[in-house]
Chain A
Amino acid sequence: MNPALSRRALLSGAAGGAALLALAGCTSAVGAQNSGTVKKGGTFLGGISTDLVPANFFTNSNAGVTTIIGLVYESLIRYPVDRLRPEPRLAKDWTISPDGRTVTLHLRDDVTFHTGRPFTSADVAFSLRTYADPKWNGQLKSTAQAITSIDARDPHTAVLHLAHPLGNILDLLEIVPIVDEKTFAGVGDGSRYVGTGPFVFERWSPNSRLKFTKNPHYWVPGRPYLDAVDIAVITDATPLTSQLRSGQIDYAYGSSFLDIERLEKSGKYDTIQLRGAETQVYVGTNVTAEGLSDVRVRQAIAYALDRDRVIAEVFRGSGYTANLPWPKTSPAYDAKLNASYGRNVARAKSLLAEYGKPVPTLKYSYVGKDPLLAATAQIVQANLKEIGVTVALDPLDPPTFVAQLIGGKFPGLWTTYHSWAQYTPSTLTVSAYPFNALKNTSHYSSAAYTKDADTAWRQVAGDGVKAREAYAALSKDLLDGLFLIEIGVIEGRWAVSDRVKGVAYTKRSELVLTDAQLTA
């Protein structure tokens, strides 16, 4: 026997044995994650692609905020996701006076904040006033600012006095989370979130995770089922999906449509399609730009767009084409009007011929780091080339894009998303700046549009016959003016592993885990 070889073998064996012992002695990180999900109760593990931005608490603009609001807070009323029929939440019932200027809310008397303090009408007043404060940039702040006073003398009754009837007042009551005045300072820096909801906010580690525990004093008996919620911030879609597939997380908000499609096909994951919480993708136009100032050119663009291709290829069929902002769940949705501008290249060319002048090269701006918008822009560019309109793509980074959007600085076309059309239609025209009748990104103004937008907003009943007539007029204005050319209504998607049941969402894509359960 070769003694050198023997020693080497001995050393190798010892090293291998030591490594095996070390591995056996370690707790597996993968095993530890799974062991928390196999029992009822337990910890829900999720991942989101955008971290909390504390200053955006009332803007519903990122997954961090919507996760906190969905788990920790509650509003006065709640819409089911598929219709605008309000259901009681912190308000047991409510009445709107015949003149539409007074809203009386009767509140639950068995609700406490996570600090133990009882919820009262003073909290309603504080929450609505805070939401109306311009510094929080709440999307419905103009509606909140139309509340002239709030009578909170009875702790269980809140009476709102309005400057004029507000057809979307119930939207406001559905959207505004009821916050705790005593601890509200912590909201601004992300240190404290105190609500009345099923989960208590524990901790936020920037760029890393959000942690919540069960609210043992939640007013809904027996809920929530889960003991805790742990949400990791995973800012890139690829690792987010990888962590879902590896079993580290059971829920992903921010995976690409393509990845979700693949996950669904594997049979191990469920897809939650956010129907009722839609966003819209559109082509915006600067109506003061040469060429675009003529509505026939804008109509030609609308006819040229291959919306079916965008929805099928870019959004993997998770949505449907649209000519108007309204989703199918909206009281303003009209299938016939929504098909006004089907793809018709010949018609588009004839409209350009009627225009009679060459359309100069149009700059086309979008957020370059968003692959969906980039792909949409390329399809639109190809569509417009077919009708002889040349487009120069202009990918921008998000802050530059938003600065140009709000400043009305786009020289030609742009593409992005908008939301808020899933609510009462007047909410869109008073909350989304691109649709604002008085001042908007497109520099579009029309006396009829301004009048009809205001009429829709001032309805006593947002779903009444008169209101529907006002919405029809609004739709006609949007199709006639065509300053924003809709491409489609997009239904977002969440991927959830088959270990989790009962995951729900609100109309603002907020995560709801009140009835969620983990299964083996």
Chain B
Amino acid sequence: MTSYLLRRLPSLAAVLAVSSVLIFGLIRLVPGDPATTLAGANATPDAVAAIRHQLGLDQPLLTQYLRWLGDLVTFDPGRSYIIGGGIGALVGDALGNTLLLTGSALLLAVASALLLGPLWAGTRRRWLEHLLTGVNTLAIAIPTFVLGVALALVFGVLVPVLPAGGVPRAGLLADPSITAQYLLLPAVCLGLPVGAVLTRYLAESLRTELSKPYVVTALAAGVARRRLLFRHALRNVLPTSLTVLGLQTGALLGGAVLVEFTFSWPGLGLLIERAVTGRDYPVVQVLLMLSVTVFAVLQLLTDAAHALLDPRIRLGGAR
């Protein structure tokens, strides 16, 4: 296994090296740079040139690239030009906030699916089925930003029982009950469509499962429908539902950008939006490189898992 991983390392390094060149080059092809952002609309060309010099942007591209590469390999991501502060701290704080938000949303989505999926599949009341179908369709169809604004308006303004956005003044760790209240609306907004997709998938899978011969036989033998639903059918459909959950988690991370913006939640979405808008090269580069690295390492781990399960891959004999 170790030798398999060692064989894969050069390709991982190559992917990262090529990605670093592309990331560094592409962001510089976009018009405008950090110096013009910092200078503002009233500045003179001389002032822009002075800022460019101060930031080292007037040096040859190769020099700038090598300096950045040096920072990366020494795990010193440097400082932000526009936002200010160390990039490590900026990304660390934002990542923690995003993980908290997406984790909460995922929790809500899974809980709602486990509650409503079996209810939907097992109910014999037509009105309840219609209600669940309607609500589910609405939850999938309504755009995140519309839902976010509506939630903030209803629960933050019209019936002000929850904060309309932002984070607790004393910090996220100071009082969990306050943090939970700040989290609730953005987490519902982010988790609702994912929960709806999961619920629908779970309900359909359960219906299919409940129509199988073993269930019909068990029902005929007098086994309670609820017992069959929860003890047998649900257990059988959960593994495939987990695959759907995995796919939806990706959508959750993507959707977090909009939700963070709508609720002023200071996570990675807000950070990258601000960095790209301001042409904050160091921050954009680090965030993109981080994303490539995470993806490449996950791919490596997936391949390693396959290799672990299949000796032909591990030993390179399946050619």
Residues of chain A having any CB pair with chain B under 8 Å: 25-30, 32-33, 45, 51-56, 59, 61, 134-135, 137, 139, 141, 189-191, 204-209, 230, 232-236, 238-240, 242-243, 245-248, 397-407, 416-420, 431-434, 436, 439
Residues in chain B near residue A26, CB distance under 8 A:
177-178, 180-181
Nearest-CB distance from B149 to chain A (Å)? 6
16 A-B pairs whose Cβ atoms sit less than 8 Å apart in the complex: A26-B181, A28-B181, A29-B168, A33-B163, A51-B274, A55-B84, A137-B40, A189-B84, A206-B90, A234-B165, A248-B166, A400-B30, A405-B41, A406-B43, A420-B42, A433-B41
Whether a CB of chain A sits under 8 angstroms from the CB of B221 is no
Query: Complex Cα distance A25/B181, Å?
Result: 13
Residues in chain A near residue B264, CB distance under 8 A:
232-236, 239-240, 243
Query: Complex Cα distance A433/B45, Å?
Result: 9
Query: Complex Cα distance A189/B86, Å?
Result: 8
Contacts A54-B85, A402-B36 aside, 12 further interface pairs with beta carbons under 8 A come to A29-B162, A29-B168, A134-B47, A190-B85, A232-B169, A234-B165, A234-B264, A243-B163, A245-B156, A397-B32, A406-B43, A439-B45
Query: Complex Cα distance A45/B168, Å?
Result: 12
Nearest-CB distance from A259 to chain B (Å)? 12
Best-buried of A27, A238, A240, A436 by chain B (most CB within 10 Å):
A238
Nearest-CB distance from A245 to chain B (Å)? 4
Given contacts A233-B264, A399-B31, contact A431 B42 (CB under 8 A): yes
Nearest-CB distance from A327 to chain B (Å)? 17
Residues in chain A near residue B149, CB distance under 8 A:
238, 242
**Could you say which of A30, A53, A61, A433 contacts B160, with CB atoms under 8 Å apart?**
A30
Nearest-CB distance from A248 to chain B (Å)? 6
Is there an interface contact between A207 and B36, defined as CB atoms closer than 8 Å?
no
Whether a CB of chain A sits under 8 angstroms from the CB of B279 is yes
Query: Complex Cα distance A238/B33, Å?
Result: 28
For residue B177, which residue of chain A has the nearest CB? A26
Is there an interface contact between A54 and B84, defined as CB atoms closer than 8 Å?
yes
For residue B181, which residue of chain A has the nearest CB? A29
**Could you say which of A55, A137, A246, A431 contacts B164, with CB atoms under 8 Å apart?**
A246
Residues of chain B having any CB pair with chain A under 8 Å: 30-33, 36-48, 50-51, 54, 79-85, 90, 93-94, 149, 152-153, 156-157, 160-169, 175, 177-178, 180-182, 261-264, 266, 270-271, 274, 277-279
Query: Complex Cα distance A431/B262, Å?
Result: 36
Residues in chain B near residue A242, CB distance under 8 A:
149, 152-153, 156-157, 164-165
Is there an interface contact between B271 and A207, defined as CB atoms closer than 8 Å?
yes
Nearest-CB distance from A262 to chain B (Å)? 12
Query: Complex Cα distance A161/B171, Å?
Result: 50
Given contacts A242-B152, A243-B156, contact A27 B177 (CB under 8 A): yes
Is there an interface contact between B38 and A236, defined as CB atoms closer than 8 Å?
no
For residue A236, which residue of chain B has the nearest CB? B261
Query: Complex Cα distance A32/B175, Å?
Result: 11
Query: Complex Cα distance A61/B41, Å?
Result: 9
For residue B274, which residue of chain A has the nearest CB? A207
Residues in chain B near residue A30, CB distance under 8 A:
160-163, 181
Interface contact tally, CB-CB below 8 A: 199
Is there an interface contact between A29 and B84, defined as CB atoms closer than 8 Å?
no
Residues in chain B near residue A418, CB distance under 8 A:
41-42
Nearest-CB distance from B145 to chain A (Å)? 9
Query: Complex Cα distance A56/B82, Å?
Result: 9
**Could you say which of B42, B94, B164, B262 contacts A248, with CB atoms under 8 Å apart?**
B164
Query: Complex Cα distance A205/B270, Å?
Result: 13
For residue A211, which residue of chain B has the nearest CB? B169
Is there an interface contact between B160 and A402, defined as CB atoms closer than 8 Å?
no
Is there an interface contact between A134 and B85, defined as CB atoms closer than 8 Å?
no
Residues in chain B near residue A431, CB distance under 8 A:
42
Is there an interface contact between A398 and B277, defined as CB atoms closer than 8 Å?
yes
Given contacts A134-B47, A139-B42, contact A235 B274 (CB under 8 A): yes
Query: Complex Cα distance A261/B180, Å?
Result: 33
**Could you say which of A33, A208, A235 contacts B261, with CB atoms under 8 Å apart?**
A235
Residues in chain B near residue A189, CB distance under 8 A:
79, 84-85
* Interface pairs A-B: 6 shortest CB-CB: A399-B32, A54-B84, A26-B177, A29-B181, A242-B164, A134-B50
Residues in chain B near residue A240, CB distance under 8 A:
264
For residue A55, which residue of chain B has the nearest CB? B38
Is there an interface contact between A246 and B163, defined as CB atoms closer than 8 Å?
yes
Is there an interface contact between B166 and A243, defined as CB atoms closer than 8 Å?
yes
For residue B152, which residue of chain A has the nearest CB? A242
Query: Complex Cα distance A402/B42, Å?
Result: 9
Query: Complex Cα distance A28/B168, Å?
Result: 11
Is there an interface contact between A206 and B83, defined as CB atoms closer than 8 Å?
yes
Is there an interface contact between A29 and B178, defined as CB atoms closer than 8 Å?
yes
Query: Complex Cα distance A29/B261, Å?
Result: 20
Residues in chain A near residue B93, CB distance under 8 A:
205-206
Nearest-CB distance from B91 to chain A (Å)? 11
Is there an interface contact between B38 and A245, defined as CB atoms closer than 8 Å?
no
Best-buried of A191, A233, A236 by chain B (most CB within 10 Å):
A236
Best-buried of A208, A240, A406, A419 by chain B (most CB within 10 Å):
A406
Given contacts A189-B79, A398-B277, contact A433 B163 (CB under 8 A): no
Nearest-CB distance from B154 to chain A (Å)? 10
Residues in chain B near residue A190, CB distance under 8 A:
84-85
Residues in chain A near residue B41, CB distance under 8 A:
401-402, 405-406, 416-418, 433-434
**Could you say which of A54, A141, A246, A399 contacts B37, with CB atoms under 8 Å apart?**
A399
Is there an interface contact between A234 and B166, defined as CB atoms closer than 8 Å?
yes
Query: Complex Cα distance A230/B54, Å?
Result: 32
Query: Complex Cα distance A90/B44, Å?
Result: 31
Residues in chain A near residue B266, CB distance under 8 A:
205-208, 233
Is there an interface contact between A398 and B166, defined as CB atoms closer than 8 Å?
no
Residues in chain B near residue A419, CB distance under 8 A:
42
